[in-house]
Amino acid sequence: MIQKYVYGNPIETGAVVQEVSKSEGSSVLLHLSETDEGLEFSCRMNENDVVYGLGEQVRGINKRGFSYISYAADDPVHTENKHSLYGGHNFLILYRQDGAEQTSFGVFVDDPGKVVFDVGETKRDLLKIRTGKDCVVYVIEGDSLKDLAKQFRALTGQSYIAPKWAFGYQQSRWGYLNKSDVKTVVENHRREGIPLEAVYLDIDYMENYKDFTVDPERFSDFPEFVGEMKEQGIHLVPIIDAGVKIERGYRVYEEGVREHYFCREENGENFVGAVWPGKVHFPDVLNTKARAWFGGKYRWLIEQGIDGFWNDMNEPAIFYSEKNLKKVLHEISSIQDDNLDLNEFFHMQEIVEGLCNHPQDYQSFYHDMDGVTVCHDKVHNLYGFYMTRAAAEAFEEIVPDQRILLFSRSSYIGMHRYGGIWTGDNESWWSHLLLSIHQMPSLNLCGILYTGSDLGGFGSDVTEDLLLRWMAFAVFTPLMRNHAAAGTRMQEAYQFDAVESFRNLVRIRYALLPYLYSEYMKAALSDEMYIRPVSFDYPKDRHTFLVEDQLMVGESIMIAPVYTQNAGGRYVYLPEEMMLVRLRSDRKRTYQVLAGGHHYIDVALDEVVFFVKKNRMLPFAVLGDDVKTTQDVSPDRLVWIGFTDDWAEYTLYDDDGISRRYTPKEEWKMIRLSKGEMEGVSADASIV
């Protein structure tokens, strides 16, 4: 059951697609009070209550004990003390385990400005949500965690579906400067027998960092180059940034100025910020005409053969604004001859560092939301959503029956219908591998299924063992992209001594593709979760609510990644009897039945380990020696891995992988096999 409560004059965000009648009064589950700044909703929490959700945030899967601020932030240092990351995902579930009078419920706060979720940080037993004065609050009641999640997904719409090739292994780096660099990456992967699906073009491919341009010297004859790569099975995926460079003669800039398509200051002048190209204007993607104009610009690259994009810097990130830079330079010049003491030096440092993404900048420009002028600060979390919506809506017109890979850095609830996300500029830290594990189910709960982190870490220098462990986890995430920053260690898989281990990990990904793609598609088309906390499948086992580093992936398996430096394995909690599957390559598989409970599992650096639920099975592709792309994974060459004492069933989804003609449910293929027809260990085998 979903109840809708409307306060003030809320902005229509586009987050919700399901019609819900307005409820009178306020929810009995949330106490409402008004403050000078806005509204505050609160609820008492019992000692054992668990809070899930909030999408892309720091800390664990259970969000209790900290405050989270929904206000999209360009901050690459994802440490535990940060309250905001790149998205605004204002949905949580409070799950009550002890039969108290209040039931478990979900809350979605549809407010595109700043929203604060104090999940027991100030007071351990109190959940407080602080919003603006104008918002819509949806309260969802249901029978189970899965039911609450499914109701929310139906409320906000079907998740984005990427082309099948986008589930293959992908390579990126800020610093592939020309065609030769890209060709070298492809050649080395092919030489080492490492499957590869896509190479990304960061800002280096542009002409002077201008959107919808290609440098004519470094990437000459671009359409021919795109075609050459496609002949090798490689998709090129260029970056698109939010800021449009201010430059006379630049067509995109001049059109935007002429047609009034950019965000403006209060006096009507176009707002001037700065990002990669220097001074820029920001397209007013919250305006229907401007959004259609900006989205239409993707056509130029699509007509040159491009079929994938990543939208970046769309919080929007602002290195500095013209006004704020002048103010800071004036203040620094006034003290340049001073003998700065401790406090004065720290003040100078603070004002310089404060140039980037300054709150006053977000309060100083405006959107024309189809005739209604709105300060950006009030709709800040919508910008990345609507930039990605601009592209997706344009694709519907440009290539109406073709799936285009599209994901974004910044997002809001509802953007999941138009594209996926990656989790931003992480670091080559073991803690960020764990953070990625925590973020996946929280993002899935908010509808964002096509997601993954920069495996290996974007910043800092990755080590071989960290990259191996990260890749072993990323085998199961829909987006499996190795991405690194300029100036860091080269971290393509072929750069390391353990190239055979990397090759095997990527081959395991391709062997698991029939299962991973099937489970993703079923989740997307049925409004369910692809990756879930263990407690969602075992809510009667109170131990599962304490598990923060194991995940359910699809209907059949549980994963328990290793995320600790120098670890030779890890402890695992099995909520029931399960079969341990150990993969060193697609040709070497071992199985072992383990009783429910606590176990220590050895996991070598070159292994992928997962657990199959009882009476479940999964398809596993038999790969040839020369597998290069997803096109080389045959649906006709499968073995079935299962664990049963009699027989098991599996519903296999497949399609052409590129069109939007998805297979209807009545045509999904039901496979039923006895224990003698599948590979694995029967349930009546000896149990360890």
Q: What is the mean pLDDT of residues 648-666?
A: 96
**Residue written as tokens 């340049």?**
336
**pLDDT computed for residue 686 by the predictor:** 43
Write out the two tokens for 20.
């819900």
Mean pLDDT of the chain: 95
The fraction of the chain above a pLDDT of 70, given in percent, is: 98
Q: What is the mean pLDDT of residues 115-129?
A: 97
Q: What is the mean pLDDT of residues 9-17?
A: 98
**pLDDT computed for residue 585 by the predictor:** 66
Write out the two tokens for 210.
């201008």
pLDDT at 317 over 70: yes
CA-CA distance, 59 to 442, in Å (whole number)?
11
**pLDDT computed for residue 99 by the predictor:** 59
CA distances from 516 to 164, 289, 449, 676 (A): 11, 39, 12, 24
360-380 pLDDT, tens digit per residue, is: 999 999 999 999 999 999 999
Write out the two tokens for 480.
């499996």
Give pTM, 2 decimals: 0.96
Helix extents (H) in 207-305: 222-231, 251-258, 288-296, 299-302
**pLDDT computed for residue 687 by the predictor:** 44
Write out the two tokens for 429.
């830290």
pLDDT at 395 over 50: yes
pLDDT at 688 over 60: no
**pLDDT computed for residue 103 by the predictor:** 73
Buried b (16+ CB within 10 A) or exposed e, 455-479: bbbbbbebbbbbbbbbbbbbbbbbb
Q: Label residue 250 left, alpha or beta by phi (over 0 means left) and psi (-120 to 50 means alpha).
A: beta
Q: Name residues whose C-beta falls within 8 Å of residue 300's C-beta, 6 or more positions apart in sequence.
A: 212
Out of 4-18, 486-500, 585-599, least confident range: 585-599
Q: How confident is the model at residue 498 (pLDDT cuts 50, 70, 90)?
A: very high
CA-CA distance, 302 to 659, in Å (whole number)?
16
The fraction of the chain above a pLDDT of 90, given in percent, is: 89
**pLDDT computed for residue 332 by the predictor:** 76
- Say if residues 663 and 633 touch (Cβ distance below 8 Å): no
DSSP lists the bridge partners of residue 110 as: 136
pLDDT at 342 over 70: yes
Q: What is the mean pLDDT of residues 314-328?
A: 90
* Pairing relationship of beta strands 66-70 and 87-88 according to DSSP bridges: unpaired
Q: What is the DSSP letter of 203?
A: G
Q: What is the mean pLDDT of residues 129-149?
A: 96
**pLDDT computed for residue 682 by the predictor:** 57
Write out the two tokens for 676.
């003698």
Out of 323-337, 458-472, 545-559, least confident range: 323-337
Helix extents (H) in 22-73: none
